[in-house]
Chain A
Amino acid sequence: MSEQPGFLFTFFNTRVLLAALPEVAKGFLLTVELALLVVASGLAIGLLAAMLRLGGRWWINLPLIFVVDLLRAVPPLVIIVLLFFGLPSLDVELSAFVTTWITLAAVLAAFAEEIFWASIRAVPKGQKEAARSLGLGALQTLLLVTLPQALRIAVPPLTNRTIAIVKGTAFGSVVGLSDILGAAQSVTSFTANPSPLILGAAAYVVLFTPIILLARWIESRLAWSH
């Protein structure tokens, strides 16, 4: 059967790859932009929520914990699909980009809240008491004494979780986002050749491998100094 095209022709087809490059590059930028937005907003909201929970008022904490649990139990892809196909019936139409951003930011915020909260509580009580007896105010104690120590505890689990959630940007392609995966898929179906998918996969590996290695390094550094 000489009709069977060669492996290189199929999976590393130069002509198709060159044609796909601009689209996948655009998708790459979109993925990076989305990832940065998710990380910044997710971590900020998570930290804020953790501080809110430290306030200890039950009428704040009960609904807060419920929402956090909800966001930790329901798959992000389900939330994306729900917002994208459900909200238009309330005359709220969000783009695929905004839908994916909001969803992943909320999910990251939920996980980050748990990690921040548990880490703050893991700082020994004596630290806080010592700071207060030195004359530091409640806010100063939190910002200068408790949080720096808590962040150190929080960083390893937080980086791993953040990476896992940010990889969920690929879910955006399910609701039509032209991120790396979306772009690669559309060129693949257009050219009837899987090379763009390989290019897309390579783009993700290029994007995330340095971050994973960085996370490993941070983890080993923090473990070393314990």
Chain B
Amino acid sequence: MADFAEAFLNLGILSEAWWLLAMGAGRTIALSLLVVPIGLAAGLGLALLCRRGPAIRRATALFVDLFRALPPLVLLILLYAGLPFAGINLGAWGSVAACFLLNSGAYYCEVFRAGLKGVPLGQEDAAAALGLRPVQALRLVLLPQAVRLVLPDLVSNTLEVVKLTSIASVVSVAELLFQARQAQSITYNATPIVAAALTYFVLLWPLVRILSRLEEARLRSSR
């Protein structure tokens, strides 16, 4: 037991490494605040594109399926290590942003598409009949109803996106996992990684709880 505490819950190590981890946690939050809006915007854009006729819908579906089939880490490495060969150097943050634009955009698109499909057609006609412009109709009539329909999926997707920011460590963005790895390799002790895992847990646990409630409520009401 003493060995276990020494290796995984070493307070001495933690007192030296905490500032690295704090910086990493800050960057993870910043990264999330960057990529969640990017994914949401791309997803909504794609979902709206889907409504513009069957040809565009099929092209969008192809795009979405392609980026849902490609593991995000593969996409990130392709962007980060492959594109420079074509003279396009996005850098670490740029590659991460582009990766989430494509990958999370594809996932959010599916969610928004399902939500918009669930809003009765009459709603859009009614909004138009009342003299709302298409953008107003979307913002004031369609989206509020669509979002309510797919709220659990939106929350779930967002949780996954925040967790997925940990892949940025692979391209040396100094977020939480990267800093924990640094601290671990300097101190030869796994405590920083345990601390990082606990930090993710503390940050995301409320979201997990809310999600459980939302999902259960929906399953019950669907019966």
Contact = CB atoms under 8 A, between A and B. Distances in A.
A123 B219 CA distance: 9
A7 B86 contact: yes
Interface string A176-194: 0000110001001000011
B204 interface: yes
Nearest to B4: A90
Interface residues of A, number: 54
B68 A212 contact: yes
B212 A85 contact: no
Interface in A133-168: 153, 163-164, 167-168
A221 B159 CA distance: 28
Interface in B66-93: 66, 68-75, 77-78, 81-82, 85-87
A78 B74 contact: no
A65 B6 CA distance: 27
B97 interface: no
B95 to A, nearest CB: 13
A212 B75 CA distance: 17
Contacts of B193: 78, 81-82, 85-86
B170 interface: yes
A89 B7 contact: yes
Interface stretch (B51-59, B139-147, B195-203): B195-203
B170 A164 contact: no
Query: Chain B at the A interface: mostly helix, strand, loop or mixed?
Result: helix
B110 to A, nearest CB: 9
Contact of A201 (B78, B200, B201, B204): B78
Contacts of A14: none
Contacts of B11: none
A82 B160 CA distance: 19
B216 A78 contact: no
Interface in A109-141: 114, 118-119, 121-124
A89 B190 contact: yes
Contacts of B72: 167
Contact of A114 (B8, B166, B212): B212
Max count, chain B CB within 10 A of own CB: residue among A73, A79, A123, A180: A73
Interface string A71-106: 011111111011001100110000000000000000
A159 to B, nearest CB: 12
A118 B164 contact: no
11 contacts: A69-B208, A73-B200, A74-B200, A77-B177, A78-B166, A79-B197, A82-B197, A86-B7, A89-B7, A188-B81, A205-B69
The 4 residue pairs across chains A and B that have the minimum distance between CB atoms: A86-B190, A208-B69, A89-B7, A167-B71
